[in-house]
Amino acid sequence: MRKREIKTTLLYVVLILITFLSISPLIWIFLTAFKIRREIFAIPPVWIPKLPTLNNFISIFTGGFSRTPFIYNSIIISLSTTLLAMVIATMAAYGFAKFRVPRSKDIEFWILSTRMMPPIAVVIPLFLLFRNVGLLDTKRGLIMVYIAFNLPFAIWMMSIFFRQLPREIEEAAVIDGCSTFSLLRYISLPLVAPGLAVVAIFTFYFTWNELLFALILTGRVAKTFPVSISEFRGVVNIRWGPMAASSIVHIAPVIVITFLLQKYIIAGLTLGAIKK
Amino acid sequence: MSKNARVIKYVFVLPAIIYLILLTIYPLIYSLKISVTTLNIARPYPPQYIGLSNFVELLKDSIFLTAMKNTFFLTVLSICAEFILGFIIARFFFMGANLKLKGVGLLRTIYMLPMMVTPLVFGLIWLYIFNPTLGVANYLLSLLGFPPISWFGSTNIALYSIVLINVWEWTPFMMLLCLAGLSTIPPELFEVARIDGAGWHQSIAFIELPLVRRVILIGLMIRIMDNFRLFDLVYVTTGGGPGSSTETLSMFTYRQSFMFFNVGYGAAASIIILILGIILAQILIKSVWGKEEYA
């Protein structure tokens, strides 16, 4: 029994050390966000801010360097993309899972392989095409691109969930006179709600974090939060305090979602790998 | 099947297919068209058709070749490190879960936070940690008696610094996949192996690794493709420098197209990247789904 206790204690120590090490950069930036300028530049470093301040946060929401419009853009773009991608993907996945579509295996394989496509390969032509049709630097344009990039994963994930539904339930509904759309709306969709949650989380996560497309396809008007954060670098004197505060504001929703919905996140990451 | 159902299935499937054709296939065709021209968006005169010159030029461009080499090197190094560390850490979490330790689930969630943060922000954090004058990394090294390191400033070290950050952020991903794989192994197998006198190393070699092989392969596949198109982290930390020591394929193409405005040349580079990506993806998908029937 005693041996078991030692083993348990050792394991706890190891796990806590690993976890602490893993998130130590995040803890460091969190502490930095509340420091005054003098403490940020102090060597040896000040670990815990002695004079905690909210000035860094205030500076990113007000004044000439305000990031509020970009945060607003990111929220609109992320939510719209998530919603629209879910609708299109759910329909497609349902179609593939429930009907006999000619060459559906090939089409599904093609859809999945578009997920492998390096974004840099499409961003150049998209930039030129968007310039011609006036979609450059618009939220609409970026939403369109983001939907395209999230559809493959969303369709794949939803079709896994739809295929797991027992046929009998749907057959019974059809016998009772249920139409295709009301079957989807009232019977199938509620049953694949966990899949919808996975898709929603991952689409939001991708969109909220994305940099390359936004960097190239947006400018002054539709600039997203990540692009505005990336602008902290490339200047001689990086404003570390506001940089830290912006980082915290950007990752806060992600961390909250991770804690609240971790079950779905782990399912999304591992489902495709385990079941198929 | 009724005629009605035949129509309905296309109503479901077609929007996604048309959408993807318009936003992925069509731009790629357009890209092919640009790649054989001298198009430069900073110049007013019209582009000229130059055949495959851009491609020939690229294969002679030492920076492009360096970018290819760097991308390959950082992919291999990152993935080996992520997998080895991920598997070891997964075993610790697996032991914790088997002993039904309290709070293991919570620790695991906290542990995986770095991968949920965008590489952009994670890279900026490390830009601060690795700062030559006020960074905490060199301060900690000095406490241990080591000289300061020029993390992003030296052509010999910068790429390793990128790999370090990359591995730090993505080891949790490999660990989650390994853990998921380990959890699918029936506990009786371990029991039988233990009774038969198998040691822990035999258990790893003959039970764990073979049975989680598929999960590992999928994890490797996803991470290889991620690294192949790595952009954010490099963009925000080194911008490809110093010199071209951390230039990656995506970074190279970005610079050519949107800093020098050589869009024709950039498009040609992006086509080479795409072709390499397709070959890589085919090899990886075959190796994962190889003998098993796909879908």
Name which of B231, B250, B259, B249 is nearest B41 in CA terms. B259
**Residue A24, Cα to own-chain centre: how many angstroms?**
22
Split at pLDDT 50, 70, 90, the class of A116 is: confident
pLDDT higher at B147 or A177: B147
Q: Nearest residue of A to residue B27 by CA position?
A: A125
Domains of chain B: 55-289 (1.10.3720.10)
Percent helix / strand / coil, chain A, rounded to 5: 75, 0, 25
CA distance B288 to chain A (A): 10
Residue B3's pLDDT band (cuts 50, 70, 90): low
Residue A273: what pLDDT?
Answer: 63
Report the SS3 class of residue B49.
strand
Among partner residues B101, B128, B266, which is closest to A11 by beta-carbon distance?
B101
Q: What tokens does B54 get? A: 């851009």
Candidates B20, B218, B250; nearest CB to A273 = B218
Q: For chain B, what percent of residues have pLDDT higher than 90? A: 54
- The model's pLDDT over A225-244, given as tens digits with 9 standing for 90+, comes to 999 999 988 767 788 999 99
**To the nearest whole angstrom, how far is the Cα of A63 from the nearest Cα of chain B?**
23
- Please list every residue in chain B whose beta carbon sits closer than 8 Å to the beta carbon of residue A5: none
> Taking the C-alpha atoms of B150, B259, B125 and A258 in order, what is their torsion angle to the nearest 10 degrees?
-150
How close A206 comes to chain B (CA, Å)?
A: 9
Nearest CA in chain B to A239: B128
The alpha-carbon gap from A125 to the nearest alpha carbon of chain B, in Å, equals 5
CB of B266 within 8 Å of any CB in chain A? yes
Find, among A240, A247, A22, the residue nearest to B133 by Cα: A240
Helices H / strands E in chain B, number of each: 16, 0
Q: Does B104 touch chain A (CB under 8 A)?
A: yes
Mean pLDDT confidence for B28-43: 89
Interchain contact, A91 vs B270, CB within 8 Å: no
Q: Does B27 sit within 8 Å of A118, measured CB to CB?
A: no
Mean pLDDT of A67-91: 94
pLDDT in tens, B146-188: 998 999 988 999 999 999 999 999 999 999 999 988 888 888 8
pLDDT score, position A276: 43
Alpha-carbon gap: A156 to the closest alpha carbon of chain B (Å): 10
Which one of B27, B250, B270 has the shortest CB-CB distance to A129? B27
Q: How confident is the model at residue A5 (pLDDT cuts 50, 70, 90)?
A: confident
Residues in chain B with CB shorter than 8 Å from the CB of A244 are: 128
Nearest in space to A241 (alpha carbons), one of A29, A63, A10:
A29
Residue A110 has a pLDDT of 78
> Which positions in chain B touch A266 (Cβ < 8 Å)?
176, 180
Is B98 in CB contact (< 8 Å) with chain A?
A: no
Residue of A nearest to B172 (CA): A22
pLDDT tens digit sequence for A153-174: 899 889 888 888 888 887 888 7
Quick: pLDDT tens for B45-67. 788 888 888 999 999 999 999 99
Cβ distance of A91 and B285 shorter than 8 Å: no
Superfamily of domain A66-274: MetI-like (1.10.3720.10)
Looking at every residue in chain A, the average pLDDT score rounds to 88
Q: How confident is the model at residue A57 (pLDDT cuts 50, 70, 90)?
A: very high
A20 has a pLDDT exceeding 60: yes
**Per-domain boundaries in chain A:** 1-53, 66-274
Contact call for B267 and A152, based on CB within 8 A:
no
Name the more confident of B206 and B147: B147
Kindly determine whether residue B180 and residue A15, on different chains, have CB atoms separated by under 8 Å: no
Question: pLDDT tens-digit profile of B103-120?
Answer: 899 999 999 999 999 999
A23 pLDDT above the threshold of 60: yes
Give the minimum alpha-carbon distance from A90 to chain B in angstroms, rounded to a whole number.
Answer: 9
**Whether A32 contacts A241, CB under 8 Å:** yes
The answer for A223, left when phi > 0, alpha when psi is -120 to 50, beta otherwise, is: beta
Q: What pLDDT score does A40 carry?
A: 87
| Helices and strands (DSSP H and E) totals, chain A | 15, 0
**Chain A residues inside the 8 Å CB shell of B229:** 118-120
β strands within A178-229, DSSP E: none
Q: Which residues pair with B37 in a beta bridge?
A: B49
Q: Which of B8, B18, B115, B121 to mutate to test the interface with A (most CBs of A within 10 A)?
A: B121
Nearest to B19 among A11, A88, A209 (CB): A88
Distance CA B136, CA B141 (A): 9
pLDDT of residue A51: 86
pLDDT at B289: 66
Residue B270 near chain A (CB below 8 Å): yes
The pLDDT of B262-278, averaged and rounded, is 91
Q: Is A13 on the interface with B (CB under 8 A)?
A: no
Name every residue whose Cβ is closer than 8 Å to that of residue B86 and which is 6 or more positions away in sequence: B171, B172, B173, B174, B175, B177, B178, B219
pLDDT at A22 (0 to 100): 96
- The pLDDT score that the predictor gives to residue B63 is 95
User: Given B30, B41, B139, which is nearest A125 (Cβ)?
Assistant: B30
Minimum-distance CB partner of B176 among A226, A250, A270? A270
Give yes or no for residue A66 having a pLDDT over 90. Answer: no
Are the beta carbons of B177 and A262 separated by less than 8 Å?
no
